[in-house]
């Protein structure tokens, strides 16, 4: 099996991302032209057949999501491209925007046409403000060439794209919070129902998709889905852009076919562990993902195989940690992150994170009480079940997986943690 492939990333380095003429010279906008000759149902069927799972983290089936969005009544709908990319150890959306902004716009136009939307919004994280000029130019050039605006390519379909920047909060990557942010409100999630597919931005039916999801849709329409599903496994077809980081020799973004083992990702693609140290554990899907020990490094990177060992693809982050790091110190760094990013709206997350940090701090110092471990686990489960949004629900994935895979690191030996 090929270790890296080039389907979603096929245009990287092949054209000047500042120029639509350069994009057109390599066949750009083939996907939009093709989509406009198809019906909404035909595009949805294609997305379903390709089993494109959303790449923002929740892995929701894109064909299903588009089908639901298309069936919501409404003459004025919205498509949002989620370019918040706030998950730690995740930088693949940035790579797509930097290298292939026009394909992202194609994905948005196709999504808009499919679900019947008139307006698209890109929500770009504040830390990527240097990419604003690139996107502003791509939008303006696409409009000048008739790929955006009124009556696109004479099809009768009209669509505009607007660019918004966040202010740098992780929780604003959550769909309803992102919408509050665009509307100028503070970044806190909305209660559901109503669901944003029916009542989202400015109370309009809204579809939210990740950057990579939209880029895949455009690539699949450019080439047909057979080229895409030729990669991967039966249950996890296709490819995924991963963000490989941490104690690895060759960090970066790589497009991989589903089905490689984590060992192949770390050693063959990443060149192995920095300074040839020993692998201790890895974390998949960013800070909200779980950690896995070196003993399961031969697990294939597919939705189904990772699920069996309690891991998820999530945002596609692969963080490698070597044997110089204590698990409890890593857990503390994640805990600090979630306390900083909790919006404070609900008690389980606001208070739970703080109480767990107090316990984790005692473990770090080797000064824990006999019931601390049990209490931390109980709080973590309460958070997972009772928090108001996905941030609080997943904040304890690291702690719980650390306790599961490294119970010995939570034992006291001689008054201090080993």
Interaction site with ligand SF4 (CB under 6 A): 171, 189, 342-346, 349-350, 387-389, 391-392
> Residue 387 touches which of ligand FMN, ligand SF4, none (CB < 5 to 8 A by kind)?
ligand SF4
213 binds ligand FMN (CB under 6 A): yes
Cis peptide before 106 (omega within 30 of 0): no
348 binds ligand FMN (CB under 6 A): no
DSSP letter assigned to residue 342: -
Cβ nearer to ligand FMN, comparing 20 with 196: 196
- Helix (H) or strand (E) holding 162, with range, is strand 160-165
Q: How far is the CB of 358 from ligand SF4 (least distance, A)?
A: 17
**Contact call for residues 354 and 336 (beta carbons, < 8 A):** no
Q: How many residues bind ligand FMN (CB under 6 A)?
A: 24
> Residue 242 touches which of ligand FMN, ligand SF4, none (CB < 5 to 8 A by kind)?
none
**What is the spatial distance between Cα 282 and Cα 401, in angstroms, rounded to a whole number?**
11
> Residue 397 touches which of ligand SF4, ligand FMN, none (CB < 5 to 8 A by kind)?
none
Cβ nearer to ligand SF4, comparing 301 with 379: 379
Whats the size of the chain, residue-wise?
418
Q: Which of 78, 85, 266, 402 binds ligand FMN (CB under 6 A)?
A: 85
**What is the spatial distance between Cα 131 and Cα 124, in angstroms, rounded to a whole number?**
9
- Helix (H) or strand (E) holding 140, with range, is helix 132-144
> Residue 305 touches which of ligand SF4, ligand FMN, none (CB < 5 to 8 A by kind)?
none
Q: How far is the CB of 356 from ligand FMN (least distance, A)?
A: 17
Report the Cα–Cα distance between both ends of the chain, in Å, rounded: 41
Q: How far is the CB of 357 from ligand FMN (least distance, A)?
A: 18
Single out the residue of 393, 69, 405 nearest to residue 207, CA to CA. 69
* Burial (CB count <10 Å: 0-12, 13-18, 19+), residue 233: middle
Which string of x and - marks every residue 281-320 that binds ligand FMN (by CB under 6 A)? ----------------------------------------
390 binds ligand FMN (CB under 6 A): yes
Q: Which of 77, 79, 84, 92 binds ligand FMN (CB under 6 A)?
A: 84
Cβ nearer to ligand FMN, comparing 219 with 328: 219
Beta bridge partners of 207: 79
**Contact call for residues 107 and 218 (beta carbons, < 8 A):** yes
> Residue 357 touches which of ligand FMN, ligand SF4, none (CB < 5 to 8 A by kind)?
none
- Sole window of 36-44, 151-159, 206-214, 233-241 interacting with ligand FMN (rule: CB under 6 A): 206-214
What one-character-per-residue DSSP string does 229-293 give?
A: HTSB-SSSBSEEEEEEEESBSS-EEEEEETT-BHHIIIIIIS-SBGGG--EEEEEESSTTS-EEE
Cα distances (angstroms) measured from residue 331 to each of 326, 336, 359, 364: 9, 9, 11, 9
Residue showing tokens 């790091």: 325
Select the residue whose beta carbon is closest to ligand SF4 and give its number: 392
> Residue 109 touches which of ligand FMN, ligand SF4, none (CB < 5 to 8 A by kind)?
none
Q: Please, which residues have CB within 8 angstroms of residue 380's CB and are 6 or more apart in sequence? A: 352, 356, 396, 399, 400
Q: Which of 9, 51, 67, 82 binds ligand FMN (CB under 6 A)?
A: 82
Cβ nearer to ligand SF4, comparing 105 with 383: 383
**Contact call for residues 287 and 261 (beta carbons, < 8 A):** no
Cβ nearer to ligand FMN, comparing 310 with 390: 390
Select the residue whose beta carbon is closest to ligand FMN and give its number: 173
353 binds ligand FMN (CB under 6 A): no
> Residue 120 touches which of ligand FMN, ligand SF4, none (CB < 5 to 8 A by kind)?
none
Pairing verdict, β 279-284 and 291-293:
antiparallel
- The binding site for ligand FMN (CB under 6 A) comprises 54-58, 60, 65, 82, 84-87, 170-171, 173-175, 208-210, 213, 389-391
């Amino acid at each position: 099996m090929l270790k890296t492939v080039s389907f979603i990333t096929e245009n990287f380095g092949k054209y000047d991302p500042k120029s639509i003429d350069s994009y057109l010279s390599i066949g750009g906008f083939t996907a939009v032209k093709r989509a406009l000759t198809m019906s909404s149902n035909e595009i949805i069927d294609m997305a379903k057949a390709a089993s494109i799972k959303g790449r923002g983290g929740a892995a929701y089936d894109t064909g299903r999501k588009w089908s639901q969005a298309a069936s919501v009544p409404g003459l004025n709908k919205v498509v949002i491209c989620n370019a918040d990319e706030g998950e730690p150890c995740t930088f693949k959306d940035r790579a797509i925007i930097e290298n292939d902004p026009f394909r992202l716009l194609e994905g948005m136009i196709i999504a808009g046409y499919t679900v019947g939307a008139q307006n698209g919004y890109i929500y770009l994280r504040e830390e990527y403000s240097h990419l604003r000029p690139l996107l502003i130019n791509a939008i303006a050039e696409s409009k000048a060439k008739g790929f955006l605006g009124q009556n696109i390519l004479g099809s009768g379909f009209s669509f505009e794209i607007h660019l918004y920047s966040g202010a740098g909060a992780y929780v604003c990557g959550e769909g309803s919070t992102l919408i509050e942010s665009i509307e100028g409100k503070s970044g806190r999630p909305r209660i559901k129902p109503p669901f944003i597919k029916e009542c989202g931005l400015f109370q309009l039916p809204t579809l939210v998709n990740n950057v990579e999801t939209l880029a895949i849709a455009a690539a699949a329409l450019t080439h047909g889905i057979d080229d895409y599903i030729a990669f991967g496994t039966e249950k996890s077809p296709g490819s995924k852009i991963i963000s490989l980081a941490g104690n690895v020799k060759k960090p970066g973004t790589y497009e991989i076919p589903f089905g490689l083992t984590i060992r192949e990702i770390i050693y063959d693609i990443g060149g192995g562990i920095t300074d040839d140290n020993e692998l201790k554990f890895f974390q998949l899907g960013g800070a909200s993902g779980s950690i896995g020990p070196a003993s399961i490094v031969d697990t294939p990177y597919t939705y189904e195989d990772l699920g069996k060992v309690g891991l998820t693809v999530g945002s596609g982050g692969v963080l490698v940690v070597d044997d110089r790091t204590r698990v409890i110190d890593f857990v503390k760094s994640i805990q600090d992150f979630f306390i900083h990013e909790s919006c404070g709206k609900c008690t389980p997350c606001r208070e739970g994170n703080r109480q767990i940090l107090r316990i984790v701090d005692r473990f770090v110092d080797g000064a824990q009480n006999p019931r601390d471990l049990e209490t931390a686990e109980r709080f973590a489960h309460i958070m997972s079940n009772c928090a108001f949004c996905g941030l609080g629900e997943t904040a304890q994935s690291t702690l719980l997986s650390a306790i599961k895979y490294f119970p010995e690191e939570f034992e006291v030996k001689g008054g201090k943690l080993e």
